[in-house]
Structure 1
């Protein structure tokens, strides 16, 4: 589970040109604006990540105008991501060793509109009010035909969910791979909703096909974007065509389009941008995914660069993430995803300009 609030250490403090009352505290790969003189290098603090929702208590009253959400902001020209708080914010007896997770202690939750949309998919149908329908609901044959639940079960435990870690939380990995000169492929991070489709071989000719959102498996076909994409691209038969001798095949991608994240790319209907194609013995790189899926009309996430080595600092990598989307040039891209398939390393770098432009 993601640590939204944790005990960390301030590694550096830098001045902000022209600012007398504020300065920048470095926490791992994050830069946070703090009051000048309030914190020192080496001090252990509570760090609260962006996209956290803090409780409505006096200590966080200053966040009321932002609906208690920790957001990326800019002060005196300096981007600030996250909150730096003194350990005194913690109640007595709370864990306070370096690395400890204090998310639950502080009653902090994640801002996650996609999870809210998922919750709507799992709601059971309302009880019928029509007396004839209420009567027929007594019979199993009627319930089986007309009252099937949308949700079939939890997300399959043999499939890894799609949730890349931000590079700012991986400073040790960054320095290690930078010093090794590790080369990465770079793709654009699309701002949509994550979808997973899988095929599981039950016998020589019988298969189980599954449709999942980021966190749940959807049971019966419906008019959700996940099933509409499955039908549009005939994904079940696509997976049957490429599974070969394997026991399973998993396709993961980002759905963009109508009413998803404001449809920033101005897509009519829905489009799937694939970023993972996983067989039991290997995971395809983006070029391989394109070669396999393009004959079926399925796109991959845009490939931006191959053989990219890491710069000297995370700040430079964040700067690299900035730019326009290749899908719609008027739109700031959300960021980039960097992968090295040989060593199974991947992470995301979010464009702060995208976050600053984001509207509630």
Structure 2
């Protein structure tokens, strides 16, 4: 489920910060964020933005000789005194509606480099495919009411691991998408990907642990035997993973 980048939420508490005369701590669902003092009070509604994201900064004045388009700005979550800072803006409208399309906010992804024709140390890896979604899970801080609304349901507890997103997929020869996959990236119908790139075996820019993990799990042999087009996704974790 894609993560909402801009939503309207209730401020459940405003807490003073010792030795801080300009900011206060606001509790919004499971998040604690910094806001200017005397702007919010308990029970207020606020639009909350989550980074990393890209926003279009619309100029106040557009006229002859002025800007013809809105420049993009990057919004990131930062930490102040160990607490994540999110940007809250007073808004007394609806909650749980995503406003990123209206406000032209989109998730920030590192830009890809153009693919070259030869595999050298300077050749970038192919970009990740559009036909396989990236790994996305809702953050628990955004689910403050989930137990009160779905308390009778069965939940599976999981932990977000600090690793690197990994995808291994198989396409059979009859799948028309196979023609969109660079031949150097696929072996026996199986390809290995990081979050933003399709990896190439023995390529200088391919992190070796991705291929080593796929080989250790024998995925290049197991996936073709399943008999269907399939993708496995997860978090590659370990002491050597950035």
Question: TM-score, normalising length from structure 1?
Answer: 0.45
Partner of 1:138: none
How far does residue 24 in structure 1 lie from its aligned partner after superposition?
1.6
2:129 is the counterpart of 1:154: yes
Contact 2:79 2:85 in 1 (8 A): yes
Higher relative contact order (CA 8 A, sep 6+): 2
- Secondary structure of 2:47 counterpart: strand
2:78 is the counterpart of 1:72: yes
Q: Do the aligned partners of residues 48 and 58 (structure 1) sit closer, same or farther apart at CA in structure 2, a change above 3 Å counting? A: farther
Which of 169, 175, 180 is equivalent to 1:198? Answer: 169
2:157 is the counterpart of 1:184: yes
Partner of 2:18: 17
Partner of 2:37: 36
The structure with the largest helix share of the pair is 1
- Secondary structure of 1:168 counterpart: helix
How far does residue 228 in structure 1 lie from its aligned partner after superposition?
5.3
Q: Unaligned regions of 5+ residues in structure 2, if any? A: 61-72, 118-124, 175-186
Mapping 1:154-173, distance limit 5 Å: 154-157=129-132, 161-173=134-146
CA distance in 1, matches of 2:159, 2:200: 36
2:101 is the counterpart of 1:104: yes
Equivalenced residues, count = 211
How far does residue 221 in structure 1 lie from its aligned partner after superposition?
6.3
Which of 180, 184, 190 is equivalent to 1:209? Answer: 190
2:218 is the counterpart of 1:247: no
CA distance in 1, matches of 2:139, 2:162: 12
Mapping 1:104-123, distance limit 5 Å: 104-113=101-110, 116=111, 119-120=112-113, 123=114
Partner of 1:141: none
How far does residue 43 in structure 1 lie from its aligned partner after superposition?
2.0
Contact 2:167 2:233 in 1 (8 A): yes
Q: Do the aligned partners of residues 226 and 175 (structure 1) sit closer, same or farther apart at CA in structure 2, a change above 3 Å counting? A: farther
Mapping 1:1-360, distance limit 5 Å: 1-56=2-57, 68-74=74-80, 77=81, 79-87=83-91, 96-113=93-110, 116=111, 119-120=112-113, 123-125=114-116, 154-157=129-132, 161-173=134-146, 184=157, 186=159, 188-190=161-163, 192=164, 194-200=165-171, 208-214=189-195, 218=198, 223=203, 225-226=205-206, 232=212, 235=215, 238-243=218-223, 246-248=226-228, 250-254=231-235, 273=236, 301=237, 327=239
Q: Do the aligned partners of residues 187 and 213 (structure 1) sit closer, same or farther apart at CA in structure 2, a change above 3 Å counting? A: closer
- Secondary structure of 2:40 counterpart: coil
- Secondary structure of 2:203 counterpart: coil
- Secondary structure of 1:242 counterpart: helix
Which deviations, in whole Å up to 9, do the C-alpha atoms of 1:166-215 show, x marking residues without a partner?
Answer: 2212222366789989673546311x4x2311234569xx9522333436
Q: Unaligned regions of 5+ residues in structure 1, if any? A: 60-66, 89-95, 127-149, 255-272, 274-300, 303-326, 335-360
How far does residue 48 in structure 1 lie from its aligned partner after superposition?
1.0
